[in-house]
Structure 1
Amino acid sequence: MILNILIGINCLICRGPEFVSRDDWGARPPTQVETMQTPVPFVVIHHTYRPEACYNKDDCIKAMQWMQDLHQLNNSWNDIGYSFAAGGDNRIYVGRGWTSVGAHAPKYNDKSIGITLIGDWSNEVPPLSQLIVVKQLILIGIREGYIREDYKLIGHRQVRDTECPGDALYGEIQTWPHWVADPTADYDLPIFKDGFHPDPATNDVGEHNKLKRHNLDRFGSA
């Protein structure tokens, strides 16, 4: 069992992540696209909380469609908020992509790639293979010129009042090389303290909106 897992991880490292395009997961077109200047100086890590973790392509596609419905139809955003989503099936699902301004982190949307790990990672760390594809995605972004080599890695909770990306995942990313405690160093940007600061430029009130602080509101209860 352990040997099979190790072999699978080694294969993943060798070949890199499989990308699932917007067409492949059935995305609707964005209502508007704002081009982002690259390479960006930040990578922001999220978890979805809801939908729950998915471990096969069909379930991850349903998760992506659920999120786009929430963000686009309920929140009236231009599109799904994230740049990319990492599924438990070890695939990367394309959201807004590398060059479009996202709606996932107030004041950082036009300066960051927002990556969400599908699932609730409050009490447990995502599978190693899911973490690996996120790290590989960041390396691809650097290699292709979309992310700065000296980028800063932060969790969503560092820029707004939210539990995202979950305590367990947040603890994990704090061990990654580019994580910073203060993302504002060298940048005239706010760090969250005791207020919520929506970004009117992208109609971003945080990707949880109805799910603020993991309260599912009309979509259910945590």
Structure 2
Amino acid sequence: MFKLAGVVLILSVLVSENSALITRAQWGARTSKSVSKFSGQIPYVVIHHTYEPAVCLTTEDCIAAMQYIQDLHMDQNGWGDIGYSFAVGGDGEIYEGRGWNVVGAHAPGYNSKSVGIVFIGDYRTDLPSFKMLKAAVDFIAAGVTTGLIAPDYKLIGHRQAKATECPGDRLFSEIITWDHWTASPTPN
């Protein structure tokens, strides 16, 4: 198994030529109220969209979006932290949410066996930019390469775990074309 610091370093190199991994410290995350971990390779990747806030185009705006999401999740929803594992900003960067192998608050039945990746923005009618889509695909591939995500992982949209329109019709129609998407996931 890998040391977490080594994995973050490897992932920041592998994510993409044009993307970086922005850590919790770099975006100014609040301290988590509680952390529950799970072990082993991650068998599910769950894709989301934020709806609000809207897509952020600069790193400064994406940092503000991450702080907004964390505040909403912790203060209004009463969760221990931001719900997602990672986020994809319109700047093409990946933002660390709860991180790897931390139980999330993003998809009932999958929180303890998935990585939840949210695209910042509303993707009901518009598709995320090519830069965002590439960053997510490259990040998932890096997770597989480093052994964090199982090579035979299953990819689903949030709506497959809960009655919601998330990740938006346009983004959902995109992810069903990706390798590993499954129409029949199996929750806890």
TM-score by length of 2: 0.90
SS at match of 2:116: strand
32, 43, 47: which one pairs with 2:45?
43
Deviates more, 1:36-45 or 1:156-165: 36-45
Residue pairs, 1:94-113, within 5 angstroms: 94-113=96-115
- Which residue pairs with 1:127 in the alignment? 129
Contact 1:52 1:118 survives alignment (8 Å): yes
**2:183 pairs with one of 161, 178, 181:** 181
1:148 corresponds in structure 2 to 150
**Pair 77,14 (structure 1): closer, same or farther in 2 beyond 3 Å:** closer
- Contact 1:16 1:136 (C-alpha < 8 Å) held by counterparts: no
Calculate percent identity across the aligned residue pairs.
52
Larger radius of gyration: 1
Residue 138 of structure 1 pairs with residue 140 of structure 2: yes
Q: Which ranges in structure 1 are unaligned for 5 or more consecutive residues?
A: 1-11, 191-222
How far the C-alpha of 1:36 sits from its partner, in A, is 1.6
Which of 89, 92, 103 is the equivalent residue of 1:90?
92
Q: 1:213 — aligned with what?
A: none
Q: Indicate the residue corresponding to 2:76 in structure 1.
A: 74
Cα distance change of structure 1 residues 122 and 15 upon mapping to structure 2, 3 Å threshold: same
Deviation at 1:40, TM superposition (A): 1.1
Q: Distance in 2 between matches of 1:37 and 1:183?
A: 20
Letter aligned with residue 167 of structure 2: P
Unpaired segments of 5 or more residues in structure 2?
1-13
Summarize deviations over 1:30-80 as a string: whole Å, max 9, x none: 011101222111000000000000010010011000000000111110100
- Matching of residues 183-202 of structure 1 within 5 Å: 183-184=185-186, 189=187
Q: 1:117-145 CA distances to partner (integer Å, 9 max, x unpaired)?
A: 00000001111110000001101111111
Report the CA distance between 1:17 and its aligned residue: 2.2
Query: How many equivalent residue pairs?
Result: 175
**Which one-letter code corresponds to 2:179 in the other structure?**
P
Q: 2:10 maps to which residue?
A: none
User: What secondary structure does 2:71 align onto?
Assistant: helix
**Cα RMSD over matched residues?**
1.4
Kindly state the Cα deviation for residue 87 of structure 1 after the two structures are TM-superposed.
0.3
1:24–1:107 CA distance, 2 compared to 1 (3 A)? same
Higher RCO, 1 vs 2 (CA within 8 Å, ≥6 residues apart): 2
Q: Distance in 2 between matches of 1:73 and 1:156?
A: 22
